[in-house]
Amino acid sequence: MDWGMRNRLSQLIQRDGRALFLPIDHGYFQGPTHKLEKPGETVKPLLPYADAIMLTRGVLRNCIDPTNTKPIILRVSGGTSMVGEDLSNEGITTSVKEAIRLNASAVSMSIFIGSRHEHQTLINLARLVDECEEYGIPVMAVTAVGRELEKREARYLALCCRIAAELGARVVKTYYCREGFEKVVEGCPVPVVIAGGPKVESEMEVFEFVHAAIEKGAIGVNLGRNVWQSDYPVAMIRSIRAIIHENYTAKEAHDLFVQIKEGKA
């Protein structure tokens, strides 16, 4: 692995081997998502606690202060929308040259295994890896399921993660599943971060699945809605950060959340 690749990965994955990535790229297919209508304002108070932010070039250029020093994971796939026919029909929307110009530490794209457009998204990943490796830029593959949330079980996720790693992804983002998540991680030879998925009912639920995922081998999270759609987003990100980087239990994280919410921490 060359110096540039190692350097960029070390910006993303911290010295303890863990990572907290904050995605605000949802608008690329959802439009102005609730609480993400003004992404620059949403992310500003959260940036100090994230290890990297994931977003599209449009939002980066227009909403993020160029003096920001947090690593950027640039979302480079798209071409579909919530109102379109098929979310899996994605292509590459941003050049590697642009990623370099924007000083990205990594690029990310979705793959849709088991979908009508599986082949196209996997070939896109392979080509993106080819191009990015030339410049020492890590590619994070996002194992997406479109609207079919029932696909999120261990056997399917293990298949997706392994294929992404085989095609050369340096990091894989996938969903957490209660049953057999350790098998997903064991079968994937590159680091795994978990997605947050749809916003859940309680903060405790988030802390529990983040803690469980770390226990079972994930290196961290790439979690958006459960942070910035919260009524207390800073308290959420600080508490999740404590689980990832300070080995807090879910209960300790929840106690911290309450303290921050009440202005005591």
User: What pLDDT digit, counting tens, does each position of 88-100 carry?
Assistant: 999 999 999 999 9
Average pLDDT on 175-198 reads 95
pLDDT tens per residue across span 210-244:
999 999 999 999 999 999 999 999 999 999 999 99
The verdict on residue 242 lying in a domain is no
Closest alpha carbon to 178 in 159, 194, 202, 161: 194
C-alpha–C-alpha distance, residues 173 and 107, integer Å? 12
pLDDT for 152: 83
Q: Characterize the bridge pairing of strands 91-92 and 77-78.
A: antiparallel
Identify the H or E element spanning 210.
Answer: helix 203-215
- CA-based diameter of the chain, in Å? 52
pLDDT band at 201 (very low <50, low <70, confident <90, very high): confident
- The reply to whether 138 falls in a domain is yes
**Which of the residues are catalytic?**
173
CA 38 to CA 32: how far, in whole Å?
8
CATH at 224: 3.20.20.70
133 belongs to a structural domain: yes
Inside any domain, residue 256? no
Q: Please give the residue range of the domain that contains residue 183.
A: 3-228
The residue to which tokens 């605000």 are assigned: 24
Query: Do 64 and 43 meet the contact criterion of CB atoms below 8 Å apart?
Result: yes
pLDDT score for 161: 98
Nearest CA-CA partner of 217 in 257, 256, 260, 174: 174
**Structure token digits, residue 131:** 């191009």
Q: Give pTM, 2 decimals.
A: 0.97
In-domain check, residue 58: yes
List pLDDT tens digits, range 108-125. 999 999 999 999 999 999
Output the pLDDT for position 149: 67
The Cα–Cα gap between 100 and 237 comes to 28
In a domain, 192, yes or no: yes
- Picking from 17, 12, 139, the residue whose alpha carbon sits closest to that of residue 75 is 139
In a domain, 66, yes or no: yes
Paired strand residues for 106:
73
* CA atoms of 201 and 192, how far apart (whole Å): 25
Q: How are the residues of the chain apportioned to helix, strand and coil, as percentages rounded to the nearest 5?
A: 45, 15, 40
Q: 15 pLDDT band (50/70/90 cuts)?
A: very high
- Total structural domains within the chain: 1
19-to-74, 92, 171, 220, 231 alpha-carbon distances in Å: 16, 25, 11, 5, 23
Asked if residue 83 belongs to a domain, the reply is: yes
Do residues 8 and 137 lie in contact, with contact meaning Cβ atoms separated by under 8 Å? yes
